[in-house]
Structure 1
């Protein structure tokens, strides 16, 4: 096992391991056929995933493993059931930092930029971790790398919808409309010291995208502390493992319908203080975010990125809404990790949330990227923290714990893309 204090010794090994995962080292195939030609046309020298779910929805995307960021997705497209052409959703998406400070103040790590989720730290995945799925190696030259680092699975997502027709107060039941859904799941595994991280993306048949980071492995055997900064995991009050944060930041560059130039909008719902006929009156107001900035969660607040030109069949602008699953654990000690979301003007050199070492960029973190530029091609930085207070059950191996966010389609299609045939006339106000 390699402790953090020994990591510098692994630099040469990491560099060698990274070579197998860097795209573009070899030219694309001069003459390709069939699926290989489709992949090359769409993804160039990168690998491709294209899957149709049982409900008829299709997802396609290019993927690669970056030495630092780990799994990177590009040109992500969604074809709803019944649609003729796919709708591009994202230009790229990746983890941009994993900041791990310990409550004891003894350690603080930046696992993405200091070590990385690719190369040496990217572990091969076997059938035991990917039952019923496909194991894929990154595309290099004219073949896949023998190291299978990506699991691709189709998994049932449970009840997708249910609607029971019934006249008001009648005991007689009419038609029942119900179905289960399915997700396309992609994930890689990276081992950094004692922790093993799962970088996962879920693509639902209704167009939702979920970004998740799972953490398993083992508690650090080097981080023991006092009762006010940790939790006893040994006999009686012994072995107090230190509390710590996993502050994960993702970088998402939308490209809705391939047209880009999305608009950023914030929505706030407030109590007017007026009583209606039966309940309080609430109103929802939109604020257009036109310049770079960072924002905090607030009660009944949410954001969306909307296309100014691409519209669904109802004439509504297509958009994706950010839904965060954790709002009460923000890490207030850092200006990088404390905001819930930041929006910056797209710059290819601005790859990471902090310790960005690209020489093309003068700034090295999100606060440095925020210089008042007008947003014409916004990039969204989403930070989701997890404050890990150890427990007895964390030994051993540690049960996996998850953090992440959802990107929910808002007006991407005119109706639920899974709508059954006999409900397709239920669009707009109905009797």
Structure 2
């Protein structure tokens, strides 16, 4: 077993030794929203899961998120049947059939170690108990952990659901300057903490009241004391002087999203690229042209300046008769070029139930079928697209990383584009301003 992917019991024992050495003096390396009329009554949607595995939260601004959850041995928390019902919509809008982590790939700069934390290092099995203070104002659900390491980890109070203020949802001064329209946004927060060796990963899903979903992984815990070396240019000095160097490494995190817009697995993918040109003769400023490319075949995509993608519903439209879609909004990333599957930021593949992990895929998909997402992009037509998002972080340690290590976050978002006809939190006084102008201006 690799030394920095040790079992919880060995980790606790090693930590005790480290603390003993330290004791001996040794060095170891929301404000109120506008009132809105209630939408017409609609039948309560049928539950997709039992109460124990259901999450439903109506936020202060009137939006309700609904979803189911289950827990897998390798991937940990999986969210299913995710729907969004903002004010003014009489029934939930289905968004995702399933969403989960698909790999945390951790290669070390010196080439000595390379880990697949989900599929090789016990990520799902090492779910952590959460104290009430870690889930303020929320509920901690008990999770049955498949094939737990020991009896103590078979049932873990490890899933927090709570709400959190995020600041302004919007602010706008009226035309007459005698009124300010503003609302303070609220999010549903769902998260778990999983331990892998010395790291602890916070897997966070944040659902905004305007329909945006944020997926983030935060790495915290400890720098592994086994990763210190004499300094070969691939680490950073930690502790007194320059004798202990923490080896630099990367965290390449993958997510797998299976969309279910308007309750259909069918959908299309579109790519948009914008190009700026210098001012032409007689023009005051530069021009910018945006081009649509329909992604009809599987794609390994690279995020670029002024490029973005959206997944479009095959069946649903908003009240303006525009196709509903979700835009993929990448977060900051450091692309890792050491492996083929980490060289691209997003993959769109045709649904295959055997393809579950972006690398080191565990199911046996048959002879000749690759084990990483890059090998699955082989020209199939996209009718049921699955989205894989890769966000990298190169961790060059610093003195402030001990002890304990501050959380460093990496992730991305999906944002509603034409899911509703207007801002779903629009106050009633502005509800008639959908595409309209005033006084001919």
TM-score bracket for this pair, using the shorter chain length: 0.7 to 0.9
Offset of residue 6 of structure 1: 4.8
1:155 maps to 164
TM-score, with structure 1 as normaliser: 0.87
Listed as ranges, the gaps of 5+ residues in structure 1 are 11-37, 168-172
Contact 2:5–2:198, Cα closer than 8 Å, also in 1: no
2:409 maps to 402
Q: Secondary structure at the match of 1:364?
A: coil
1:389 maps to 396
1:181 maps to 185
1:428 maps to which of 412, 430, 435:
435
| Structure 1: distance between partners of 2:120 and 2:45 | 32
**Pairing 1:254–2:263 present:** no
Contact 1:70–1:116, Cα closer than 8 Å, also in 2: no
| Structure 2: distance between partners of 1:336 and 1:377 | 21
2:424 maps to 417
| RMSD between superposed Cα atoms in Å | 2.2
Q: Superposed, which structure 2 residues align to 1:119-130 within 5 Å? A: 119=125, 121-130=126-135
Q: Superposed, which structure 2 residues align to 1:36-115 within 5 Å? A: 41-43=47-49, 47-115=53-121
Q: Secondary structure at the match of 1:128?
A: helix
Listed as ranges, the gaps of 5+ residues in structure 2 are 11-43, 146-153
**Residues 317 and 102 of structure 1, relative CA distance in 2, 3 Å threshold:** same
Offset of residue 228 of structure 1: 2.2
**Residues 395 and 293 of structure 1, relative CA distance in 2, 3 Å threshold:** same
2:383 maps to 376
| Structure 2: distance between partners of 1:310 and 1:40 | 19
1:318 maps to which of 317, 321, 324:
324
| Structure 1: distance between partners of 2:120 and 2:184 | 42
Offset of residue 186 of structure 1: 0.2
Partner deviation per Cα, 1:204-227 (whole Å, 9 max, x = no partner): 000000000000000011112426
1:32 maps to none
**Residues 351 and 46 of structure 1, relative CA distance in 2, 3 Å threshold:** farther
Offset of residue 39 of structure 1: 11
Return structure 1 stretches of 4+ with deviation > 6 angstroms.
none
Contact 2:107–2:114, Cα closer than 8 Å, also in 1: yes
Offset of residue 273 of structure 1: 2.9
Contact 1:46–1:62, Cα closer than 8 Å, also in 2: no
**Residues 343 and 45 of structure 1, relative CA distance in 2, 3 Å threshold:** farther
2:39 maps to none
Offset of residue 138 of structure 1: 3.5
Offset of residue 325 of structure 1: 1.2
